[in-house]
Structures are given as structure tokens and as C-alpha cells.
Amino acid sequence: MTSITPPEERPSADASVDMLSERGKSSAPPPGKLRGNLGAIAIIFTVLAFNAPLGVAGGFVPVVIGSGNHEGAPATFIVIAVMLVLFSVGLLAMSRFMHSCGAFYSYIVAGLGRVIGLGGAYTAIAAYTAFCCCGYAFCGLVTRGLVADAFPGSHIPWWVWALMFWVVSAALSLANINLSARILGVALVAEIGVTLIWGLRVFINGGPSGVSLHPLTPSAFFGGGSISVALLFAAMCITGFEAVAVFREEAKDPVKTVRRATYGSVVFMCGFYAFVAWAYLTGYGPDALAQAADPIGSFKASVRTYAGTVAYDAVSIMLLTSGFASVLANVNIGARYLFTLGGDGVLPRKLGKVHPKQGSPYIAAAVFATICLIGAIIIPAILGIDALTVYVDLAAIGGVCLLLLMLVTSVAVPVFFRRTNGHTASAWESKIAPALAAAALAVVFSLSVIHMPDIIGADQTVANIALAVIAFFAIAGIGNALYLRARKPDIFQRIGRQDL
């Protein structure tokens, strides 16, 4: 066994490189390792499922148009794609030396040390817990609406429906990851397919004013509205990016699969949302800005107009399956964070156990599901909190947490390579691209803090509470690391370990 030693405890740069170069020599996962056979397509599907593309297409893309830079929305997604590709360059260069499913947490530890790294881990857990909880609220909200339409007078609370989705997702998270990947794949093909059919029908029809390439140009990007709000909401549309690294241990060929899945997910997500924004603008023509005030309603109405009633009904149902797919992806990612911290000894070691037959982090999955049950269903049910409030507030917290994680990770990459002599990464991979990504992410993260009231649709007081929650988890992780360093140095040394 060899390991990556974080910078503050690294014996020497040359020794570190020697240890890193030993990667990949074992062909079969030893006992205690997660098992899976995921290819690039399966991981891309998991990333897209986390992202809930149909929900984003109907719920967020019109917001980028209406509250952002209007006709420049498609170009905004292209700009975000450039930022994420720059981020991916350094991330993939560093991934050649990483082997833990802790993803951004492990990268931050290797670059910036255990103290900041554990703060990142706690922030990540907060993000995925928030995303998972808001996903259950979304499923409950949509199901309640569908049932009310079919059976007028129905008064079943949203959290009852959310509980049903919790049972199914919790059970699936205990099984081998390949089963979840298959389910996610079916759901995604359906929702992406119906969205593409709608978009193509829009372009064939031409809409009120015909098809124009102007929305894809720089002049449209800078042409009007709020570029800052557009960048912020467009960046929050591309969530789930970390899932590529999280499932590294369960991939067929970690190096090739992670590279293909990373670039594939970035290109597809940004391209898909640029396509949706362009089709939305074309479909409504001059009325697009006014219609964007009702994001999901106007999106579904456009689907009915251009793709017919059958497609409209399908979208209504697929909004539900899209939400469930997102929940399932979140449960799997969150469980693997708890699994990693359990294996490190930071959390109870039982969390780091692997099911002998399924090869899944079954105890971590059960604990994470229980946390979400309490946060998403039990507490809101007792306090009478509306599903929409749960969804919006927790989605905002999760999105800002992920932006913070990506920013810190982009800083960790060049620091890692600067302290690791003899590496084979080029200057573009180890310095230039990560620095450009860090600068871009710093701008977007700053915008998220400034515009937090706009994100959650509440006043500054509520926004400050949301930001305080994010800061609490980051500080709690840092504080725990400092405690372990002072009182339990043996556990501190295991933070972010990279067992081969």
C-alpha cells in the first residue's frame, strides 16, 4: 500500500512522486473497496441525472433568459462551458494521482492540506444533503399536482408522496451502483428525447420571428439585461459535475473513463441548455421575456404548442422522473462522501464498510438516507413547511456550496503541482488553465453571495441565514480537523488518504 501525503505532512516531493507513480498496478479491487463496472456513458448519465435536465430546462433556463441577459442566454451557457473546460483541464491532470472517491475533498486535501480539505468535505456533505432534500420536496410537489389534476379535491400532503420516493431511492442506494446507473439511463433518455423533439419542432416551425443565430453570438451575450445574474444562474444549472470523480473507484478504466465522462458531461450539459434557451427564444419570439416570468408553465406551454398534447403530458410526468433521478444520484454521491470519511476515521469507521455482495457503501447509504428523511420529510411535516420553500431554499444552499467547492479545488490544483516535483503535467494543465478557472469561479461565487436574495426569492435576512448555514459547515469541518490534529493525530493523518 502506498499513499498520497498532503503538503503539510509530505516527507519529500520526490518521495511523493514515487508513491504517486505506483498507481494502477493492482487489477482487481481488494476487500473493502467499492465495486462497479461503470463506463463513461454510465457516469455521464449519473451526472446528468443529478442535474435533472428537464427540471433545469423548464425551471432555470427561462430564468437565465428573463432575469439574466435575455437574448444572450444561449451564449451564456457557452461561456460557462469554457469555464468548466478550463476547470476540467487541471482537475484531470491531478486525477492521474488520485484514487479516493472523496472527489473534491481528496483534491483539496492533496493540494491545500488536511485542515482546509476537511472543511471542503463538510461543505460537500452539506451540498448533497441540501440537494437531496430539495429533490424530495420537488418530487412531492409535482406528484401532489399530478394527483390533484387527476382527482380534484385530493388533499394528500406533499410529504407523503416524498416519503414514497425516499423509500425507493434509499433501497436502490444500498445496491450495486450499476443498478442505479441503468435506471438513471432510462429516465434520462426519455426526458432528453422529448426535449430535443420539442426543440427541433420549434426550429422547423421557425416561431413568430424565424430562426436566428444571433442568440449564440458575443453581441447577444453583452447585449442587454444582467450578465452577472445570467452567469450565476447558468453556472447553477451545471451541477453534479463532481459525480465524475466520486465514482472513479467504480469505473471500468478510471483514467480513460473519468477523462471522457468529464469532458462529455460538460459539453453535453452546456450544449443542451444552450439549445433549450435558443429554442425557447425562437418559440416565443418577442414575447419570450414576458413568458419567462412563469418558467415551468411557459416551458410546458411551448411544448404543447410545438410538440403536441402527448409531448405535453409526457413532460408533465417526466418532470417527476427527472426529480427522482436527481434524488437517486444525490443519495449515491452523498453516501460515498460519508463512506470516504468513515474509511478515513473522521466519522465512525462503520460508514467505511462495503457490502460483501453488492460492493456498495451500504451503511453510509443508509445513514445518508436517514439524514435526508429527517431533513426533507419529518421536520417539514412537523413544522408545516411548504414544499416550494424547502425546494428553493435548499437548492440555493446546495448550489452555492458546490460553487465554493469548485473554487477551492481550482486553487488546490496548481498548489499541488507546485509542491510535487517531477510530475508530467504541462504548464497549461498545472498552472494556466487552473488559474483561469479559479478567476472565473471566484467571479461567479462572488455573484452568488451578492445575489443570494435573488436566488432564494427572499429578503436579505433569509439570504444571510442561508449563507451562515454554508459557512457553518465549512468552519465545522476546519474546526474538527484542528481538533483532530491536536487531540487525535493518528486520525488526522488519515484525512484524505489515497490508498491504492
Read off the pLDDT of residues 416-430 as tens digits, 9 standing for 90 and up: 998 887 677 889 999
**CA dist., res. 337 & res. 49, Å (int):** 18
**CA dist., res. 187 & res. 330, Å (int):** 15
Task: Tell me what the mean pLDDT of segment 50-54 comes to.
Answer: 78
∠ CA 216-209-55 to the nearest 5 degrees?
55
Given pLDDT bands bounded at 50, 70 and 90, which one contains residue 11? Answer: very low
In the chain, how long is the greatest CA-to-CA distance?
71
pLDDT tens-digit readout, 337-382:
898 888 888 888 888 888 777 777 889 989 999 999 999 999 999 9
| Contact partners, residue 8, CB within 8 Å, separation at least 6 | 113, 114
Which residues, in sequence order, are bridge partners of residue 251?
Answer: 38
Three cell numbers at 47?
451526472
Give the pLDDT confidence score for residue 393 in this predicted structure: 86
| Contact partners, residue 214, CB within 8 Å, separation at least 6 | 71, 220
Q: Under CATH, domain 31-492 is a member of which superfamily?
A: Amino acid/polyamine transporter I (1.20.1740.10)
Given pLDDT bands bounded at 50, 70 and 90, which one contains residue 218? Answer: very high
Q: CA torsion sign, 483 to 486 to 491 to 492?
A: positive
- Note whether 410 and 90 are within 8 A (CB): yes
How many C-beta atoms surround the C-beta of residue 439 within 10 A?
A: 13
* Average pLDDT in the chain: 83
Helix axes 309-344, 177-205, angle to 10 degrees: 140
- Note whether 365 and 337 are within 8 A (CB): no
**CA dist., res. 455 & res. 399, Å (int):** 10
pLDDT at 104 over 80: yes
pLDDT at 405 over 60: yes
Three cell numbers at 70?
435575455
**In angstroms, what CA-CA distances link 221 with 72, 153, 398, 451?**
4, 46, 27, 20
Phi, psi dihedral angles at 94 (to 5 degrees): -75, -30
Q: What is the DSSP letter of 25?
A: -
Which has the closest alpha carbon to 187: 96, 51, 373?
51
Per the listing, cell 425562437 goes with 282
CA 155 to chain CA mean position, Å: 33
Which has the closest alpha carbon to 91: 417, 338, 446?
417
**CA dist., res. 3 & res. 175, Å (int):** 29
Give the pLDDT confidence score for residue 81 in this predicted structure: 93
Which residues, in sequence order, are bridge partners of residue 38?
Answer: 251
Give the pLDDT confidence score for residue 53 in this predicted structure: 85
Q: Which H, E and C letters describe 187-224, residue by residue?
A: HHHHHHHHHHHHHHHHHHHCCCCCCCCHHHCHHHHCCC
pLDDT at 299 over 50: yes
pLDDT at 22 over 50: no
Task: Tell me what the mean pLDDT of segment 249-278 comes to.
Answer: 81
**CA dist., res. 165 & res. 152, Å (int):** 22
Give the pLDDT confidence score for residue 15 in this predicted structure: 36
CA 476 to chain CA mean position, Å: 22
| Contact partners, residue 253, CB within 8 Å, separation at least 6 | none
**CA dist., res. 43 & res. 184, Å (int):** 10
**CA dist., res. 73 & res. 70, Å (int):** 6
- Note whether 455 and 396 are within 8 A (CB): yes
Three cell numbers at 113?
492540506
Region of residue 353 (left: phi > 0; alpha: psi -120 to 50; beta: else):
beta
Give the pLDDT confidence score for residue 242 in this predicted structure: 65
**CA dist., res. 445 & res. 400, Å (int):** 7
Q: Is the pTM of this model over 0.75?
A: yes
First to last CA, the chain: 6
pLDDT at 34 over 60: no
